[in-house]
Chains A and B, each alone.
Chain A
């Protein structure tokens, strides 16, 4: 049982937009910034979004992040088949004094 809650799967057609939610609590998302990671099968996760909304160099602006209260959302526009992967949210938990991840969301581009 992950501290942060994500939908197990989402799907959309190529070219469309999809959003992935990440729900937490006042001690984690409500108190700290959120980061998002993309993971392809057999590969290490890759940072997509940090500090709720910032994209590292090299990440396309098709990827966006937002945060409101105790929830965060990853948005992906102009979906491509190459975006099929697992996506994870993460943050710091000020009560646990530890990092926490969401359970991950599998994105399928139909």
Chain B
């Protein structure tokens, strides 16, 4: 059974760096086709995709937040860490990590991605306030 759990501070001050840890069980982040995605959701608003790290160490970031985000993995500890710099009150949200399955199929000159987040953690709420 796959489970994920987010952990980290519930309150951060503006300009500080947020560090969240996703600890997972039931899968290995060294298995081909597997990744861990971070998603956030401000109160009453939609889901926002943040970043993903794959089994092969490939990382992708939201273009809007790329300059502020870093994702790393520790396969031996079954953990993925998200860092977000220069926090602002608008970053107040519930942050989720999710087990991700990805398959890339070559189709001529481009790739077709089968990408989905099949198991989610319960999320952790982060408030940014002085």
A residues with CB within 8 A of B: 2, 31-33, 35, 37, 39, 43-47, 50-51, 56, 88, 90-92, 94, 96-104
B96 adjacent to chain A (CB < 8 Å) = yes
Kindly state the separation between the CA atoms of A62 and B56 in the bound complex, as whole angstroms.
37
Kindly state the separation between the CA atoms of A46 and B96 in the bound complex, as whole angstroms.
12
Bitwise interface map of B from 56 to 88 toward A, beta carbon under 8 Å scored 1, else 0: 000011110000000000000000000000000
Q: Which residues of B contact A31 (CB under 8 A)?
A: 110, 112-113
Interface residues on B, range: 20 to 34
B121 and A32 form a contact (CB under 8 A): no
A56 and B118 form a contact (CB under 8 A): yes
B49 and A100 form a contact (CB under 8 A): yes
B113 and A98 form a contact (CB under 8 A): no
The residue in B37, B102, B117 that gathers the most chain A C-beta atoms within 10 A of its C-beta is B117
A99 and B46 form a contact (CB under 8 A): no
The residue in B60, B101, B113, B119 that gathers the most chain A C-beta atoms within 10 A of its C-beta is B113
A-B contact pairs, 7 of them (CB 8 A): A44-B96, A45-B39, A47-B119, A50-B101, A91-B115, A100-B49, A101-B49
A46 and B37 form a contact (CB under 8 A): no
A32 and B114 form a contact (CB under 8 A): yes
B52 adjacent to chain A (CB < 8 Å) = yes
